[in-house]
Amino acid sequence: MVRSGIGYDIHRLVEGRKLVLGGVAIPHPRGLDGHSDADVLTHAIADALLGAAGDRDIGHHFPNSDESIKGIDSQEILRRVQAILTGKSFAIVNIDSSLIAEEPKIGPHISAMRERLSQTLNIPPDRIGIKATTNEGLGFIGRGEGIAAMAIATVEKLEPRFPADAPRIA
Ligand code: MG
């Protein structure tokens, strides 16, 4: 069985925060605000994976009221999401995503982000798509007030080769 899920996230750009996208720290005068490291791309991917597995969303699994995860590295969130999927016998087929940001320029960082996400998820980088676009100066993203991300994930349910209730031949 093959299933897909979508994810979307947006965070506000503020002074005094590090900018982390796809697990990569990107030099920029402002960073994304949030309870975790506010890695908007990784959050959209995590939500797409949870959606594909039919398991709520990251707000449910990692509520911003949980002080134990304040400032958490979103790669750790992604690792925990993958563990939820593995527990349900879902394996990742591929992920595709888009970042929507007026600045900074995302292109020079895409291969580092793919590499980092592929290490976190232990899948080849060519199974992870990351694209970037501006909002053509329109609206709040166009004014540089925040960065948004969209993602789609496809997963495959691994059927057990030897179901627990199948008769075994000694
Ligand atoms: Mg988020």
Mark the residues whose beta carbon lies below 5 A from ion ligand 1. 9, 43
> Are 37 and 64 spatial neighbours (Cβ–Cβ below 8 Å)?
no
Name the token pair of 138.
Answer: 């329109």
Give 160 Cα–ligand 1 centroid separation in angstroms: 34
For residues 130-153, one letter each, b for 16 or more C-beta atoms within 10 angstroms of the residue's C-beta and e for the rest, the string is bebebbeeeeebeebebbbbbbbb
pLDDT, residue 132, reads 97
CB-based burial of residue 50 (10 Å sphere; 0-12 exposed, 13-18 middle, 19+ buried)? Answer: buried
pLDDT in tens, the chain (170 residues): 999 999 999 999 999 999 999 999 999 999 999 999 999 999 999 999 999 999 999 999 998 899 998 989 999 999 999 999 999 999 999 999 999 999 999 999 999 999 999 999 999 999 999 999 999 999 999 999 999 999 999 999 998 776 666 666 65
> Are 20 and 26 spatial neighbours (Cβ–Cβ below 8 Å)?
yes
Give 11 Cα–ligand 1 centroid separation in angstroms: 6
Please name each of the domains of the chain with its CATH number: 2-157 (3.30.1330.50)
Give 56 Cα–ligand 1 centroid separation in angstroms: 14
